[in-house]
Amino acid sequence: MTALWRNLTMGRMLAESGRGGSTPHEATGAMREAAGRENSRWGAYSWLAPKAEMQARHAGFPGPDGAGLPGSGPPGPLAGFACAVKANLAVEGWPCDCGSRLLQGYLSPYDATVVRRLRAAGCGFLGVAAMDEFGMGSSCEFSCHGPVRNPWRPDCTPGGSSGGGAAAVAAGLAWFALGSDTGGSVRLPAHCCGVVGFKPTYGRISRFGLTAYASSLDTVGILARSVGDAALVYQAIAGRDPHDATTAVVPVAPCPDGPPDRQWRVGVVRPGPAQALEPAAAANFTQSLGIAGKVFGKMKDVDSLIDEVDVGVYTILAFAEAASNLARFDGSLYGQRGRQAEGGRSFGRMVRAVRSAGFGPEVKRRILLGTHVLSTGYRARTYDRAQAARRRLIAAFAEGFSRCDLLILPTASGGAFPLGSRLADPAAMYATDRFTVPASLAGLPAVTIPTGLDDRGLPLSVQLVGPPWSEATLLAAAQALEAEFRFRERKEAPWNR
């Protein structure tokens, strides 16, 4: 049983079950037991669903006899499986604190659209995955629950801000996880933890029930054990939602089941001197390109779409939107007033007291910077210029995709860095996302695939980026590439120990 739920993908689990092996329901039950025992090692979950509640509400968890609950709904493509849900996604009756002291004790009164669609597919839910506060961080250290640890090496970051979900998947404590990707918050943790991270086109998956950080960038993403698993989840949750006006009316194409029927034109985006990779990562990227050439055929270099300005552009736009979105957390409706806000103080003093006590240092930094760039006298010099740079980047991607079907580039400059090593240097922390923010700024689909290990034994990866609404092609290409890397077979991986 242990080997099954630790290292099998959902696709292989279904195949094993069809041959008379353990069922997904039974494996999920063992997984929940393990999460209760092992979560303290990693901090992947900030809250685990009680077993009694899972039995009462979720078809993915077995009843006392090991079978699915009768009457829990018709079986769906994800029946018997269960996932982790990031702490900024609403699950009815569950904590939705976004990793912040300000929202501790807040329980969601409704389900996010993605959660509701997973329920319809038969999926259960294991618990709330830890995250950087309000999605603001690249290391999962900015949380009221403490840092999350990487299952490959507990002294290293799992990446952020969806690091809890990535750690849960890597440790074998979730079949998959739902995260949010604003500037790389799904793809970077996937890179650090050696799992697959998929961010669809902006507007492809509903954001209803996702606590907003930067509304023009936020995208619900998937952390999974394989590209096939990510595609299975994507098919269950993608599509138009009347509750979210930003979702697209573009039909969701089915993901291919099998090898590609043609070759793709793939463009290689090489880092420039300002974005140099660490030596082990550079060697791995070169090796990965050689393998990709065997899969895709001839590849050609394209003009670099990774420019040092991209992180700055992202920082300005995301922080400005964050300052606006987080203004609602003032203690009057959302947030804990606490004793410091009582005693007949003015509304202004109450808001200052609540936000000062409730927000962490990184959130305060981003609100202050975002307010500054939107202030009179500075907006034209910062925010407006950043918007113009974003439009130029979108045009550059469009020109690149007129000559290529897909782009391939690194996900990060090296493997996971030690916990605490960048807390005193915000600029170095922000630069961690230099390879992921371009696709976010352009609203493009992207997927991270693990490729190998660096000289410290930590995962490395490549990133595939496609044009808008090309998820089916992108996932098919990623699956073909994943089959050549065979990363999940590595003996030193957490799921194979």
Q: Residue 215, preceding bond cis, omega within 30 degrees? A: no
Range with the poorest average pLDDT among 20-24, 95-99, 334-338? 334-338
* pLDDT for 1: 44
Instruction: Say if residue 278's pLDDT is above 50.
Output: yes
Sign of dihedral through CA atoms 386, 391, 392, 394?
positive
**Which strand (E) or helix (H) includes residue 180?**
strand 176-181
> Is residue 385, in this structure, part of any structural domain at all?
no
* pLDDT for 88: 98
Identify the residue with better confidence: 149 or 55: 149
Angle CA 259–219–203, to nearest 5: 80
Q: What does the DSSP 8-state code read for residue 89?
A: B
Identify the residue with better confidence: 379 or 132: 132
* pLDDT for 53: 66
Query: Is residue 180 flagged as an active site residue?
Result: no
Cα atoms in the Cβ-side hemisphere of radius 13 Å centred on 411? 35
Residue 339 pLDDT class (50, 70, 90 cuts): very low
Range with the poorest average pLDDT among 25-29, 293-297, 327-331, 333-337? 333-337
Query: Is residue 288 flagged as an active site residue?
Result: no
Tokens of 127: 């618990």
- Interval 445-463 mean pLDDT: 98
The SS3 call for residue 418 is strand
Range of the domain at 57: 2-264+406-496
> Is residue 308, in this structure, part of any structural domain at all?
no
CATH of the domain at 36: 3.90.1300.10
Measure the CA–CA gap between 449 and 316, rounded to whole angstroms: 29
Of 72, 108, 143, 161, which residue is the catalytic one? 161
pLDDT in tens, 13-58: 988 887 877 889 899 999 999 999 999 999 999 999 997 666 555 5
> Is residue 367, in this structure, part of any structural domain at all?
no
* pLDDT for 63: 46
Cα atoms in the Cβ-side hemisphere of radius 13 Å centred on 474? 29
- Interval 436-445 mean pLDDT: 97
Of 108, 185, 206, 461, which residue is the catalytic one? 185
Query: Is residue 161 flagged as an active site residue?
Result: yes
Range with the poorest average pLDDT among 222-226, 237-241, 309-313? 309-313
* pLDDT for 353: 85
Measure the CA–CA gap between 457 and 432, rounded to whole angstroms: 19
Range with the poorest average pLDDT among 15-29, 220-234, 468-482? 15-29
- Interval 170-177 mean pLDDT: 97
Of 86, 108, 139, 180, which residue is the catalytic one? 86
Measured between alpha carbons, how far is residue 239 from residues 227, 235, 249, 442 in Å?
19, 8, 8, 20
pLDDT in tens, 406-440: 999 999 999 999 999 999 999 999 999 999 999 99
> Is residue 309, in this structure, part of any structural domain at all?
no
Q: 128: which residues sit within 8 A by CB, 6+ positions away?
A: 45, 46, 47, 48, 84, 85, 86, 87, 91, 94, 95, 96
Q: Is the pTM of this model over 0.85?
A: yes
* pLDDT for 267: 95
> Is residue 472, in this structure, part of any structural domain at all?
yes
* pLDDT for 258: 65
User: Residue 335 — φ and ψ, nearest 5°?
Assistant: 105, 155
> Is residue 91, in this structure, part of any structural domain at all?
yes
* pLDDT for 70: 34
Please provide the distance, in angstroms rounded to a whole number, between the alpha carbons at the two ends of the chain: 14
Percent of the chain at pLDDT exceeding 70: 91
User: Residue 362 — φ and ψ, nearest 5°?
Assistant: -70, -40
Give how many domains the chain has, as a whole number: 1
CA dihedral 181, 187, 188, 193 (to 10 degrees): 130
Identify the residue with better confidence: 458 or 263: 458
Instruction: Say if residue 405's pLDDT is above 70.
Output: yes
